[in-house]
Amino acid sequence: MTPQPVWAGPGAHGPNGEHLDAPQTVLSGARQVSPRIEANSDLFELVGILAGSEFSILIDRFATNEPVLKAQVEIESGGMKAQAKFQGDIGNYSVDEPAMVKRLSTPGEHPLVITVFAGKDSDLLDAVLKVEAPPAVHEHGVRWEWWGLGALTASVLLGIAVMRLRSERQRSLAQGGQA
């Protein structure tokens, strides 16, 4: 049975207190997790996930775990600012501004300041988004290709040697010699 992606709202915790907020998939036994952040203050807690062409943020009230809906949310990173649009169908905030998403998608650490205005409450939350560099192309593929080519060449040469030995043996038998 193939494991299915898991999705839970902010505040979902595992038995050891770890957050279970990000979509996760299991591929060939390796866990693939999208780059994400977690931040909290006295008023709010949030989880941000960078996936594809958007940065998605889920925000809850810290004390009650109640979702914060229809707030004004802005993210800032490296001198760039972007407004997060509220997505009513999911209850998240989405930043899909290409320049900001491109910046956040580059490998490295990206300090973020998230400003939340929800009714009479407002707060700044800090986090650092860590984006891993894509896995480097390993030389194993090249080695395997050379190994495969070497094995093929050795097999062909062995086949030729066996055919010559058989042909010499048959010639020897035809001439009355011993095999």
**What are 84-127's pLDDT values in tens digits?**
999 999 999 999 999 999 999 999 999 999 999 999 999 999 99
Does the pTM surpass 0.85? The reply is no
Higher pLDDT: 78 or 149? It is 78
Torsion of CA 8, 36, 55, 99, to 10 degrees: 180
Q: Is 25 exposed, middle or buried (CB count within 10 Å of its CB: 0-12, 13-18, 19+)?
A: middle
Tens of pLDDT, residue by residue over 122-141, are 999 999 999 998 776 555 55
Confidence at residue 25, expressed as pLDDT on a 0 to 100 scale: 38
pLDDT value at position 86? 96
Contact 31, 44 (CB under 8 A): no
Alpha-carbon distance of 143 to 135, in angstroms, equals 17
**Residues ≥6 apart with Cβ < 8 Å to 141:** none
Mean pLDDT of 20-37: 57
